[in-house]
A and B are shown apart, each in its own frame.
Chain A
């Protein structure tokens, strides 16, 4: 997931509102229950602010780091039209990162703090970007299925309670729909092309199948629930619900091309729920904790960019300027 709201047991236990003014808390929760949005200057419980910063920041990092595996292929796109589309997509992703940093900033954490926490490894980003894009077909699969998964996640989150995050997500979802369409187009062209192209695409689908199942986070029975986050509309659907919605929408679109998934147990049961083999949740944990194929490279590239661009930022700084938290 782009911005994870999964808590460890301990974190869920620690979530406390006992320090809060009960009258203000009640008014705050009533406002959310009525479907109203919370805006930056409104009163909010410290825990709400903290969880939102964590989630939006992770989402922003995911957009920025997500541009890296795709950026790898800009110079080697197979033709000019695909190259233009990929450049536009990568630019969008970085733009989405900026929009999300802005939304998180309204909660009081500065952009520089967030970038520092990304580079020091303190904050996480979506696990899926720790895998490499080995061939051009991986770009097709990322554009179609990873962005498809992201849209499921983001469309649900855009119904949340925090105004600036919802507004950023609406804009993002609009642009992501272009990513999805061009990804589908790319997949269809490879699927209906030569045998080499089909084989390349099938190999890419096989590679991304498990990371895609990991994308929405651990199964509900493995992750700590937070009634509070649901009540506050920070989390709006469970990991399993989102994963099921994704499979429902996208599995048929791969199967209709005569392609397959590398899992004999993938099927929809009589209750409309998708079943699949265990996608190795230990691997998921290992990769999240730094031991994935690309974790080191992603952060090294980010650090390089910070360091190589530092002189530009320093030249631009005006010592008299005073930073202020943005309004909305």
Chain B
């Protein structure tokens, strides 16, 4: 093979051109979590393939901490993460009768003004 790349010429890649492909074998996946500032939340940012947590951290550093600020990375095996079924999304909806949990539910200004008018209160 006549390449513009001297390294390719030195390797003589044509020798391996019929080399078999990978058999179906996988390194497992790890979910990666990133913290960009001390005191901030650690947020999910993606995955890496690795066979040990140490290797997962090294690869996560290369992949998700090349630029900008990073204070820490966490990795967890994908198989160790438990989630709800995404079809059950509606279980998280706030029902109208639960608005008493919201600060906006508590409106007292009208009542105060009415009381002040009735009692001719001048504050």
Binding site for B on A (CB under 8 A): 39, 41-43, 71-72, 75, 88, 91-92, 95, 98-99, 102, 105, 110-113, 115-116, 119-120, 132-134, 167-168, 175, 296-297, 300-301, 303-304, 306-308, 310, 313-314, 316-318, 321-328
Contact = CB atoms under 8 A, between A and B. Distances in A.
A75 B7 contact: yes
A110 B81 contact: no
B37 interface: no
Contacts of A321: 26-28, 51
Contact of A41 (B5, B29, B85): B85
B4 A113 contact: no
A72 B31 contact: no
Contacts of B25: 112, 313-314, 317
Given A303-B17, A310-B22, A111 B51 contact: no
A326 B21 contact: no
A105 B87 CA distance: 20
B5 A72 contact: yes
B28 A95 contact: no
B47 A307 contact: no
B4 A99 contact: no
Contacts of A308: 16
A316 B56 CA distance: 12
B1 A112 contact: no
Contacts of B118: none
Interface centre among B14, B21, B27, B86 (most CB of A within 10 A): B21
Given A321-B51, A324-B79, A115 B22 contact: yes
B79 A316 contact: no
Contacts of A322: 28, 79
A92 to B, nearest CB: 7
A157 to B, nearest CB: 18
Contacts of B62: 91, 95
Given A99-B63, A301-B13, A112 B24 contact: yes
B29 A326 contact: yes
B8 interface: yes
Contact of B22 (A91, A105, A116, A296): A116
B51 to A, nearest CB: 5
Contacts, number: 124
B67 interface: yes
The 3 closest A-B pairs by CB, nearest first: A323-B26, A307-B19, A41-B86
Nearest to B62: A95
B41 interface: no
B3 A297 contact: yes
A296 B17 CA distance: 9
B20 to A, nearest CB: 8
Contacts of B67: 175
A181 B63 CA distance: 21
B31 A306 contact: no
B28 A43 contact: no
Given A41-B86, A110-B24, A317-B27, A306 B19 contact: yes
B51 A318 contact: yes
A132 B4 contact: yes
B1 A300 contact: yes
A307 B16 contact: yes
A256 B38 CA distance: 46
A306 B16 CA distance: 10
B64 to A, nearest CB: 9
Contacts of B20: 307
Given A132-B4, A316-B27, A95 B79 contact: no
A105 B4 CA distance: 34
11 contacts: A41-B85, A72-B4, A91-B62, A112-B22, A112-B25, A113-B24, A132-B4, A304-B11, A304-B19, A321-B26, A326-B29
Nearest to A174: B67
B13 A91 contact: no
B86 A39 contact: yes
A310 B24 CA distance: 12
